Amino acid sequence: MERPPLSDVSERPLTRIAQVSDPHLGADVDQPRQAAALAALESLATALPTLDLDAVIVSGDVIIDDPDDQRDHKFAHNVLARLDLPVWIVPGNHDVGDHRVRAGLPPDWHGAEVTSVRVRAWHALWGRSYWRHDVPGWRLYGLNSQVMGSGLAEEADQWSWLHLELGELLESHPSTLVAVFMHEGVIAPRMTPPRDAWMNVPTDSGSALLEMLGRVDLRLIASGHTHRHASEETMGIWHVTAPSITGPIPLRPDMLQAIGHREPGVLVYTFAPGGFTFEFMTTEQHGPQRRFYC
């Protein structure tokens, strides 16, 4: 599909959204990891006025480790509530639990499995784990990747909701472009991992999602989880993974490694009618490192 260059759309309304991923916040801020997470969010809060943003999307793993630690959830909720912008959040494996099968992940890193109790606890504190927001020329969907392939009632609810949503979009605004934000993507950019690899949603769920989204003009699937920034365009769809704002996953020889940049930072998207761009900004510098035109 032909996309206009940025110069063709720069006169039109723009929406700038930061994707913040994998902060892994915890209430015990005297611990080094949790102190680093809080410092990263405070750094972002300080920089917000200079970034000219309309909203922040947090793509999961807001909690440091244990999805059942309500003290950590409340602490993270308070930290994110202090950002002076609309904040739209989807949960990660450390927030509501993980999939049953995680190829390439060391067994001792396989966390608690996703359950209805954990998803309902998320809904009670954070609100519904899937959502939509409209910006000029675009419809943005947030999805709970963690229920995909689980067989839970919450998975069926999300599929039903998305099916109805896409039908309505096709009926009323067929030319609207679509972006999806979730914790885990459907492909690992620039690599071919084994089936049901740890960095993506379960393979069958990813295929089902792409088939469902094939009805609309999907341009972007943005995810986190790998703590690495990478991107790949496949059949007109950009698959983009965001780095963690706090830091990379420690390297282990028995773990299948995703491809991408490990520096902590955020991605800033500019959505315009007809196209979008994204920039990788490091947490420390808040300066653009690379720019992609789509």
Residues at the contact surface with Fe ion, assessed by CB under 5 A: 22, 61, 92-93, 225
In the complex, least distance from residue 278 CB atom to Fe ion, rounded to whole angstroms: 20
Q: Tell me how far, at minimum, the Cβ of 102 lies from Fe ion, in Å.
A: 10
Q: How far from 36 is each of 25, 40, 42, 68, CA to CA, in Å?
A: 9, 6, 10, 21
From the CB of 279, what's the least distance to Fe ion, in Å?
A: 21
Q: Pairing between strand 237-241 and 15-20? A: unpaired
3 or 261: whose CB is closer to Fe ion? 261
Contact indicator for 272, 136 with CB cutoff of 8 Å: yes
- Assess contact for 57 and 224: CB atoms under 8 A: no
Nearer to Fe ion, 25 or 27 (CB): 25
Helix axes 203-213, 153-172, angle to 10 degrees: 20
Q: Chain-centre distance of CA 203, in angstroms?
A: 18
Minimum CB separation of residue 125 from Fe ion in Å reads 19
Question: C-beta of 225: minimal distance to Fe ion in Å?
Answer: 4
Q: Which residue number, 93 or 205, has a Cβ lying nearer to Fe ion?
A: 93
Name the residue nearer to Fe ion (CB basis): 92 or 193.
92
Distance of closest approach, residue 293 Cβ to Fe ion, in angstroms: 29
| Residue 152 tokens, joined | 């839970």
Q: Specify the 3-state DSSP secondary structure of 282.
A: strand
Shortest spacing between CB 63 and Fe ion, in angstroms: 9
Q: How far apart are CA 78 and CA 74, in angstroms?
A: 6
Tokens standing for 192? 């071919």
Q: Closer CB to Fe ion, residue 9 or residue 38?
A: 38
What ranges in 31-152 are assigned the alpha helix state H? 32-51, 70-81, 93-96, 116-126
Angle at 264 between CA 260 and CA 265, to 5 degrees: 100
Our CB check for Fe ion shows the closer of 178 and 180 to be: 180
Q: Which residues, including other chains, have CB under 8 Å from residue 214's CB and lie 6 or more apart?
A: none
Toward Fe ion, which CB reaches closer, 189 or 275? 189
Closest CA to 97 of 120, 127, 124, 74: 120
